[in-house]
Amino acid sequence: MNAVNRTLKFLTAALFVTTGISQAAVYKPVLNADSKTGLTFSIPYTFGKHDGEALSLSGHIEIDPETLVVTSGEFSFPVTALSSGNRKRDCHIEESIGLDYSKSSYPKSQVCGGTNTLPTEGNDAIAFPNLLFKMESSTASKTAGEPAVVRGSFEMHGVSKPLEVPILITKNDAGIVRLQGTFMLSMAAYGAVVKPVVGIKVGDPITVTVDVLLKAESSKAQ
């Protein structure tokens, strides 16, 4: 039986070599040198723009370490992890994309309390706690410095829509993969309503910038 097992292992290894089947590595996000996730956003409004960042990012992505082609994966971050540097403004972001309008008093009236927080339970509590980007595939970059097109779906405010984004995928000598790209995202397309405050209106779409670092966790046969 041991001889049979050794033979099967040899034939399997030979199959990978002769057919050129590659290994997809599983990568997970790590913080950059500034202890940041590298995921930022810019929201236009009446007098300019508000810049912010995602304070946390979780998930994984499967990438061929040789071609850097994405085969699958997903990234998610909590609505409450979106920070614009102003707690009152952050609460308004949370109510616009985190609440279920069919149950909440919002957007008919704003529900952020005097402490700039939402209730933890009831109809005005966050119903859609996370934003999720599921990745299904990507193109292969034909030349160095050319972004790949990562295809998948993005979920916000309980609504999921197909999404394609241009992302430059590179890998350094230490094996750290870097994702870089900028794209536009319409909150209105996901049914999110940002209620004006004292005549100040928020624009749409928002600009999302990705500069995320990934570290390999494991590999698996494709």
Domains of the chain and any CATH numbers: 22-221 (2.40.128.110)
Are 26 and 216 in contact, with CB atoms under 8 Å apart? yes
**In the prediction, which pLDDT does 200 show?**
80
**In the prediction, which pLDDT does 178 show?**
96
Distance between CA atoms of 30 and 159, rounded to whole angstroms? Answer: 27
Are 57 and 124 in contact, with CB atoms under 8 Å apart? no
> Three-state DSSP class for 92?
helix
Q: Look-up: residue for tokens 């046969």?
A: 221
**In the prediction, which pLDDT does 17 show?**
40
Low-confidence ranges of the chain (pLDDT < 50): 4, 7-21, 221-222
What's 40's DSSP letter?
Answer: E
Phi, then psi, of 122 in degrees rounded to 5: 95, -175
* Buried residues in 59-68 as b, exposed as e (16+ CB within 10 A): bbbbbbbeeb
**In the prediction, which pLDDT does 23 show?**
76
Q: What is the pTM of this model?
A: 0.84
pLDDT in tens, 74-133: 999 999 999 999 999 999 999 999 999 999 999 999 899 889 999 999 999 999 999 999
**In the prediction, which pLDDT does 12 show?**
44
